[in-house]
Amino acid sequence: MSEEYDLIVAGGKVIDPASGLSSVADIYIKAKKVAKIEVKDLVDLKKSKSSKEQKIVDASGKIVAPGLIDMHVHLREPGREDEETIYTGSQAAVAGGFTSVCCMPNTEPPIDNQESVNFVYERASKALCKVFCVGAATKGLKGEELTEMADLKEAGAVAVSDDGMPISSSRIMRSALDYSRMLGWPVISHCEDLNLSSDGVMNESYTSTLLGLPGIPSLAEEIMVSRDLSLAEFTSGRVHIAHVSTRGSVELIRAAKSRGINVTCEATPHHFSLTDEIIKTFDTNARVNPPLRTQRDVDEIKKGLKDGTIDCIATDHAPHSIEEKDVEFGAAPPGMVGLETALGLVVTELIDKKILTWEKAIAKMTMNPSRILNLNLGRIEKDCRADLTIIDPEISWTVDTSKFKSKSKNSPFQGRELVGKAWMTIVDGKIVYRL
Amino acid sequence: MKLKSKDLLGLRGVSKEEINFVLDTAVSFKEILERPIRKVPTLRGLTVVNLFYEPSTRTRISFELAEKRLSADMVNFSATTSSVRKGETLKDTVRNIEAMKIDMVVIRHSASGAPHFVASCLDSSVINAGDGAHEHPTQALLDLFTLREKYKKLEGLKVVIVGDILHSRVARSNIWGLSSVGAEVAVCGPTTLLPYQIERMGVQVFSDLDQALEGRDVVMALRIQLERQKGGLLPSLREYTNLFGITKERLKRLNKNFTIMHPGPINRGIEITPEVADGPYSVILDQVTNGVAVRMAILYLLSGGEEKVE
């Protein structure tokens, strides 16, 4: 053993969808990078332990995945540091097993110019995980004029989006797709026809009828998905549909993909785990946009995850303060935190229920978002960044929001029993979280 | 017998036995209201706060009178705006009021679920006096009381609710209450004002008034609001009246000994003609009279009352 390593992750089952590796292996890390991967038939730690200089992590019985990437989070900085900061968001991220997150630009003020992108990266330099910035597609998120996208890119932004709001003007959306194509970027689209969603506060369904709450019909999303798919086809631009929540959207995207339209999409853990029926207690933590839908929608999202229509799992982590949520249902802002429950929900709702294999699930949280945003991450191979998520696939735990690292606790999953949790999170070869 | 919950938030899931218990208790209170001195000491020493976040005449006065007749101490609070950011939140408001030592809260609010939220913040009993388009349980109970008084039994009674079902808490509470006691309920309104999958609540659904009236015992007309026209849900009140106005002509389709109801306030000449509203078969004012007795019964039972009062 001539070479010295900074860290060895030994004996875990390494699942790397990018290379197809799925077996027990030791991963040797040096200078923030993966230096060597040694596939082995049997777990054998003795040999590795020979040098006392080397730190060894015994990952036997665990799953070692490329560091998870969440391509859709709201970190609230600048503007609402009482709810979350880039730093606290990164604490929540690594506790949830994420080594990279992409933060959306709907802060106060929005991230719509080079200077504000620089601000995010300045703050991100102290974060526990990698933070990538998504810039606004239009100035002030107003949907009227394009942002200086080349400038945003130069500062390090990885895509554009007006997330939180749709780009209502079809003309501006067309321009955004045309212009971002020049930069090789997707436009991440929040699909919502505001005329249809109107004053709605939950999904329009039998449950909204029972509760007498104004509804948001599923077609408020589907009409915009349909529009964006047509615009992407026409412009040859690239559209990524954020937080797909309805059966019709999944079907539209599936059909568009088969026609060769340049579209990708994501689904959130809450949209594949919950239906709008949990609103029966008027729990404002269940208010989210797009709203929780019905079982039929949940089933189709699972189907879309299984057949590959849905490329990614992203949390849409949306922290809100207690005082904002501790009000009448309709008065609460939409959104829920998700970073610390995502992996458990993926294991419990998708892997254990045989919707996805470990390989497919991990791909949707690593390789796929990396490819969509050209992050050059999300895989385990020699010389790549040593971002690893070590998962305990068996552990049963109960969601306790008071233990969240996130500054905000607005989760409807409080008290829920889940299986699977991040056991250790490694960013650039450094252990940033351990259970 | 005692009521199961400390609160009355809605009629969904409330059993026939509990509903009949409330109605039976209300009979005793109605007798009291017919005495020369219409006041009893039943709730002496108890404090009730009426929180009205939405304008109301009938329901508010009805609750106030019910409280006074029972000798409760009462305080009124009204606000034209709901909480949210500016000013104090609903939670803070009600917790502050509770800190002054009170026993019950009656709340009317434009947000569906507001009474549930308040109930979760307080130890006091909470009575829903109407929340958004969700429920208005005391209205439905007084409607049931009025019908039971006339027909003696509610089982098998054929009722049709006509109008803006989408925005109506009265419709929802009546659907639950009437269904629970075995009445047969239908709803009728323009298709833009029927909520999604309303049939799953166990009602027949009509958009043709003449069909809906055929063979019914009871017609409950709902108030139609002018703002529905601006919201794009109705072309005009004129057309609404043509299609859904309850006129004398249309009453022919109803069963003998039929009844006309309306929770008020009435738009005379729009959802109902004056002739029908004031006809001999109309119980609209009886509804109002009975409202006080039913609310007295609810206040009494939620304060811990068990048996009928003397």
Spell out the domain ranges in chain B: 16-135+288-302, 137-284
Asked if A41 reaches chain B (Cβ–Cβ under 8 Å), the answer is no
Q: Tell me how close the Cα of A283 comes to any Cα of chain B, in angstroms.
A: 9
- Is A316 known to be catalytic? yes
pLDDT in tens, chain A (435 residues): 457 899 999 999 999 999 999 999 999 999 999 999 999 865 555 555 555 567 999 999 999 999 999 999 999 999 999 999 999 999 999 999 999 999 999 999 999 999 999 999 999 999 999 999 999 999 999 999 999 999 999 999 999 999 999 999 999 999 999 999 999 999 999 999 999 999 999 999 999 999 999 999 999 999 999 999 999 999 999 999 999 999 999 999 999 999 999 999 999 999 999 999 999 999 999 999 999 999 999 999 999 999 999 999 999 999 999 999 999 999 999 999 999 999 999 999 999 999 999 999 999 999 999 999 999 999 999 999 999 999 999 999 999 999 999 999 999 999 999 999 999 999 999 999 999
Q: What is the pLDDT of residues B43-54, one digit of tens each?
A: 999 999 999 998
Q: Give A283's contacts in chain B (Cβ within 8 Å).
A: none
Residue A162 neighbours by CB distance under 10 Å? 29
Choose the closest CB to B111 out of A205, A281, A328. Answer: A328
Asked if A204 reaches chain B (Cβ–Cβ under 8 Å), the answer is yes
Q: What is the pLDDT of residues B109-148, one digit of tens each?
A: 999 999 999 999 999 999 999 999 999 999 999 999 999 9
Q: Give A331's contacts in chain B (Cβ within 8 Å).
A: 82-84, 111
pTM of the model: 0.93
Complex ipTM value = 0.91
pLDDT recorded at residue A52: 58
Q: Tell me how close the Cα of A203 comes to any Cα of chain B, in angstroms.
A: 11
Q: Do A208 and B196 touch (CB under 8 A)?
A: yes
Q: Give A210's contacts in chain B (Cβ within 8 Å).
A: 12, 172, 201
Asked if B201 reaches chain A (Cβ–Cβ under 8 Å), the answer is yes
- For A325, nearest residue in chain B (alpha carbons): B84
Q: Give A208's contacts in chain B (Cβ within 8 Å).
A: 195-196
Q: Do A209 and B84 touch (CB under 8 A)?
A: no
Name the region of B264 (left: φ>0; alpha: ψ -120 to 50; beta: rest): left
CA distance A56 to A8: 5
Question: What burial class does residue A183 get, using C-beta atoms within 10 Å of its C-beta: 0-12 exposed, 13-18 middle, 19+ buried?
Answer: middle
From the annotation, which residues of A make up the binding site?
72, 74-76, 106, 163, 190, 243, 289, 316, 320, 334-335
Q: What is the pLDDT of residues A103-134, one digit of tens each?
A: 999 999 999 999 999 999 999 999 999 999 99
Q: Do B197 and A329 touch (CB under 8 A)?
A: no
Asked if A282 reaches chain B (Cβ–Cβ under 8 Å), the answer is yes
Which residue ranges form the domains of chain A, and what is each CATH number?
7-64+384-434 (2.30.40.10), 67-372 (3.20.20.140)
Name every residue whose Cβ is closer than 8 Å to that of residue A12 and which is 6 or more positions away in sequence: A24, A25, A27, A59, A60, A61, A62, A63, A64, A390
* Pairs of residues, one from chain A and one from chain B, whose beta carbons lie less than 8 Å apart: 69
- For B201, nearest residue in chain A (alpha carbons): A210
- For B84, nearest residue in chain A (alpha carbons): A331
Asked if B131 reaches chain A (Cβ–Cβ under 8 Å), the answer is yes
Read off the tokens for A54.
């080397």
CB contact at 8 A, A161 and A242: yes
Q: Do domains B16-135+288-302 and B137-284 have the same CATH topology?
A: yes
CB contact at 8 A, A206 and A259: no
Q: What is the pLDDT of residues B257-298, one digit of tens each?
A: 999 999 999 999 999 999 999 999 999 999 999 999 999 999
Q: Tell me how close the Cα of B194 comes to any Cα of chain A, in angstroms.
A: 9
- For A279, nearest residue in chain B (alpha carbons): B113
Asked if B309 reaches chain A (Cβ–Cβ under 8 Å), the answer is no
Asked if B197 reaches chain A (Cβ–Cβ under 8 Å), the answer is yes
Over its C-alpha atoms, chain A yields an Rg (Å, rounded) of 21
Question: What burial class does residue A285 get, using C-beta atoms within 10 Å of its C-beta: 0-12 exposed, 13-18 middle, 19+ buried?
Answer: buried
Asked if A16 reaches chain B (Cβ–Cβ under 8 Å), the answer is no
Name every residue whose Cβ is closer than 8 Å to that of residue A92 and which is 6 or more positions away in sequence: A84, A317, A337, A339, A340, A404, A405, A406
Q: Do B12 and A329 touch (CB under 8 A)?
A: no
Q: Which residue is catalytic, options A70, A276, A316, A387?
A: A316
Given CATH 3.40.50.1370, say whether it is the number of domain B16-135+288-302: yes
- The domain B137-284 is classified under which CATH number: 3.40.50.1360, 3.40.50.1370, 1.10.10.10, 3.90.1410.10? 3.40.50.1370
pLDDT recorded at residue A4: 87
